Amino acid sequence: MKKITVLGVTGSIGVQTVDVVYHNPNDYMIVGMSAGHNISKLEEIIEKIPVQVVCVIEKNDAEILAKKYPYIRFVYGQAGLIEIATLSDVEIVLNAIVGFAGLIPTIEAIRHHKDIALANKETLVVAGHIITKLVKEYQVRLLPVDSEHSAIFQSLQGNQNNKIKRILLTASGGSFRDKTREELVGVSVKEALNHPNWSMGAKITIDSATLFNKGLEVMEAKWLFDVDYDKIEVLIHPESILHSAVEFEDTSIIGQMGMPDMRLPIQYALTYPLRKPLIKGESLDLTKMGQLTFKKPDFKRFRALKLAYDAGIKGGSMPCVLNGANEEANLAFRNGQIEFLDIERLVEEAMNAHDWIENPSVQQLLDIDRWARDYVIKKIGESHADNN
């Protein structure tokens, strides 16, 4: 019986993790879970599967829930999050929190010798240099949940001693993959949220449309697989069937294919190195697919991807600026405060205005993240003042 903590249990990945655990009650047990503000979803989950300790953001929510579910212990806030990420009998922490907020609980979990199943890619983007060091120091496993990285990880099994020539990181292209740059002017939030292949949380769906998601994944791949940026190639693959691949030195390309279903990489991160049946998993029928297509992304069209490569290659504090500015601009777009193309413009401006640091500490990352967010908020405020 594997004991797990799930951070961000009410989100898209969190709910699918609950589904995997629910269908395998003899294999896994969720001991700790955390949610943000979606208390009704949390209650649904608590009533569906057993759990011992639950963390929410607000103290008030924790107090109300504690009265309603006296057999569960409720904790709250950042201290609560760290508490459930470090529970003594937990073996693996699946981090499905969205954004920079996932960083500190990941660090604390590693320091308490927990294996990490990581959906929260922002953690590696901003602090890959710190996380990879800690993973070695504490000798824990860092298992990817992101579908592309799970595909790469699966392709590397049995090949640990073979050099990677190239990583082929596939991208659906998001909601606007068929639009020209001119056609992106004035697109709506509703259109952007309409992803062709995957159903995901709001932030990552917008990131898929801008291609910041793929940019974050390029950086995530760099840290997970220790490869240079010139060996990570993004391919637009609208069918989302080849989830990514690795080319080895003998030119052999090994990849992982399957229907787009996040429960597979979630489950593999939990069962690794074993494979188990995926309950209600649909087998891929290649004859029904007819054809699979691939093309190179146009960096002018997908400016965000270029910015992400630039930030990754610059390294140090730059990815943290890109990430913080993007989180804030992504939110402002969803709130109707800015246009779609303003997202990448604001991120680029923040990157240009930043005083770069080569090897930021955790505290410096916290400060830089705040700075990048404040920069974007200020710029949006100024442009609204100009328009009035």
Which residue's CB is nearer to ligand NAD, number 242 or number 247? Answer: 242
Which residue's CB is nearer to Mg ion, number 10 or number 205? Answer: 205
Q: How far is the CB of 300 from ligand NAD (least distance, A)?
A: 25
Q: How far is the CB of 183 from Mg ion (least distance, A)?
A: 25
Distance separating alpha carbons of residues 203 and 189, to the nearest angstrom: 11
Residue 35 binding partner per list Mg ion, ligand NAD, none, with a CB distance cut-off of 5 to 8 Å that depends on partner kind: ligand NAD
Which residue's CB is nearer to ligand NAD, number 193 or number 292? Answer: 193
Ranges of H-type helices in the chain:
12-22, 39-48, 59-68, 77-85, 103-111, 121-138, 147-155, 189-192, 202-210, 212-225, 263-271, 286-289, 303-314, 318-334, 340-353, 362-387
Distance separating alpha carbons of residues 274 and 51, to the nearest angstrom: 25
Q: What is the C-alpha radius of gyration for the chain, rounded to an integer number of angstroms?
A: 20
Residue 92 binding partner per list Mg ion, ligand NAD, none, with a CB distance cut-off of 5 to 8 Å that depends on partner kind: none
Label residues 332-361 b or e (16+ Cβ within 10 Å = b). bbbeeebebbbbbebbbbbbeebeeeeebe
Q: How far is the CB of 149 from Mg ion (least distance, A)?
A: 7
Residue 197 binding partner per list ligand NAD, Mg ion, none, with a CB distance cut-off of 5 to 8 Å that depends on partner kind: none
| Residues of the shown chain interacting with ligand NAD in the complex, contacts defined by CB under 6 A | 8-14, 34-36, 38, 57, 96-98, 101, 119-122, 146, 198, 200-201, 203-204, 262
Q: How far is the CB of 192 from Mg ion (least distance, A)?
A: 17
The mark string for 146-185 relative to Mg ion (x by CB under 5 A, - otherwise) is xxx-------------------------------------
- The angle, 0 to 180 degrees and rounded to 10, between the axes of the packed helices 12-22 and 263-271 is 60
**Do 325 and 373 contact (CB within 8 A), yes or no?**
yes
Which residue's CB is nearer to Mg ion, number 240 or number 317? Answer: 240
Count CB neighbours of 252 within 10 A.
Answer: 11
Q: How far is the CB of 146 from Mg ion (least distance, A)?
A: 4
Q: How far is the CB of 20 from ligand NAD (least distance, A)?
A: 13
Residue number of the CB atom closest to ligand NAD: 11
* Token couple for 137: 């120091």
| Three-class secondary structure of residue 134 per DSSP | helix
Residues near Mg ion (CB under 5 A) are 146-148
